[in-house]
């Protein structure tokens, strides 16, 4: 039996994630009380001839204190032989404020005594026991619904070989650090094509910038060092049952250096791993 548990802050896309899995044939339950997690698989076993694929969303609308026991509930499920994965969705707090203000929806924790900003901050604190157990964290701040659906389908629905999925994500420090990154490498020390006016309008995916960076000794050394680090430590994460890792590569604006190095690493590891993804946050924007 396969069970996907979806959680995260309100407004980050949990419903869209659950609908994606439902469209792919998962038996889905929205807003399941965490205390019922242990009961659900046993109940459904009697109604299926083969172990079903299930997905449930768990959010802050649980009874006070229930989520504190989430790690123990998860351990109990796994002890029953159920293959559980926890997906945690999050979004930048200011983006959440903007979304709630635009839709005029009420946050589950806001009331006459708790403002929207206070509710968003409190929710993050209360969900900490779930976040700690997350197998996959997705920052949906800059993702479209279609991009998020594609990521979820590739991770949970594709018929692929076992092993960890590695996402190389370029970004610009001026727009903030990705909250879902497992490792962050800063490449702002490398030569910057931005200062060459003939290169400024190109990106790290285009040949003029590629030609500028590919033979520079510092760039070559940076790629080799990051690659060696990943090759050394990735097997340790795989042995710890990690299914997804995000390697973030950052430069100032996320247009040139980080894009080139992210793409280069993605190409390099495609020949070594079964599941490699490359995403350029600022270019997607």
**162-211 confidence digits (pLDDT tens):** 568 899 999 999 999 988 888 999 999 999 999 999 999 999 999 999 99
- pTM of the predicted structure, to 2 decimals: 0.66
Domain co-membership, 122 together with 200: no
Domain co-membership, 145 together with 177: no
For 36-95, the pLDDT digits (tens) are 888 876 776 655 555 578 899 998 887 667 888 899 999 988 888 888 999 999 999 999
Domain co-membership, 183 together with 46: no
Domain co-membership, 119 together with 232: no
Question: Of the ranges 6-20, 145-159, 181-195, which one carries the lowest mean pLDDT score?
Answer: 145-159
Per the structure block, which two tokens stand in for 87? 């997906």
Domain co-membership, 149 together with 266: no
Q: Determine the longest span between alpha carbons in the chain, in angstroms.
A: 67
Domain co-membership, 258 together with 136: no
Report the number of distinct structural domains present in the chain.
2
Domain co-membership, 146 together with 176: no
Q: What domain range includes position 237?
A: 165-284
Residue 40, classed as helix, strand or coil, is helix
Helices within 87-202 (DSSP H only) = 93-103, 116-126, 128-132, 145-156
Crossing angle of the two packed helices 217-239 and 257-270, in degrees rounded to 10: 50
């Amino acid at each position: 039996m396969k069970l996907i548990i979806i959680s995260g802050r309100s407004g980050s896309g949990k419903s869209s994630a659950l609908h994606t899995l439902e469209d792919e044939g998962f038996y889905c339950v929205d807003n399941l009380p965490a205390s019922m997690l242990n009961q659900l698989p046993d109940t459904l076993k009697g109604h299926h001839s083969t172990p079903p694929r299930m997905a449930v969303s768990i959010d802050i609308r649980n009874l006070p204190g229930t989520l504190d026991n989430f790690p123990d509930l998860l351990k109990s499920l796994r002890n029953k032989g159920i293959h559980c994965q926890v997906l945690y969705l999050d979004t930048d707090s200011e983006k959440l404020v903007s979304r709630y203000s635009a839709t005029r929806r009420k946050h589950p924790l806001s009331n006459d005594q708790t403002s929207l900003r206070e509710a968003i901050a409190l929710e993050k604190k209360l969900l900490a026991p779930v976040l700690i157990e997350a197998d996959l964290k997705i920052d949906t701040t800059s993702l479209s619904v279609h991009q998020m659906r594609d990521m979820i389908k590739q991770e949970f629905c594709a018929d692929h070989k076992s092993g960890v999925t590695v996402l190389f994500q370029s970004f610009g420090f001026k727009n903030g650090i990705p909250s879902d990154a497992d490792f962050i490498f800063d490449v702002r020390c490398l030569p910057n094509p931005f200062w060459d006016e003939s290169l400024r309008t190109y990106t790290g995916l285009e040949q003029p910038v590629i030609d500028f960076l590919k033979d520079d000794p510092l760039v070559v050394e940076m790629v080799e060092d990051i690659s060696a680090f990943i090759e050394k430590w990735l097997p340790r994460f795989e042995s710890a049952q990690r299914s997804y890792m995000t390697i973030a590569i950052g430069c100032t604006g996320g247009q040139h250096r980080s894009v080139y190095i992210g793409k280069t690493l993605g190409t390099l590891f495609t020949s070594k791993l079964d599941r490699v993804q490359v995403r350029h946050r600022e270019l997607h924007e």
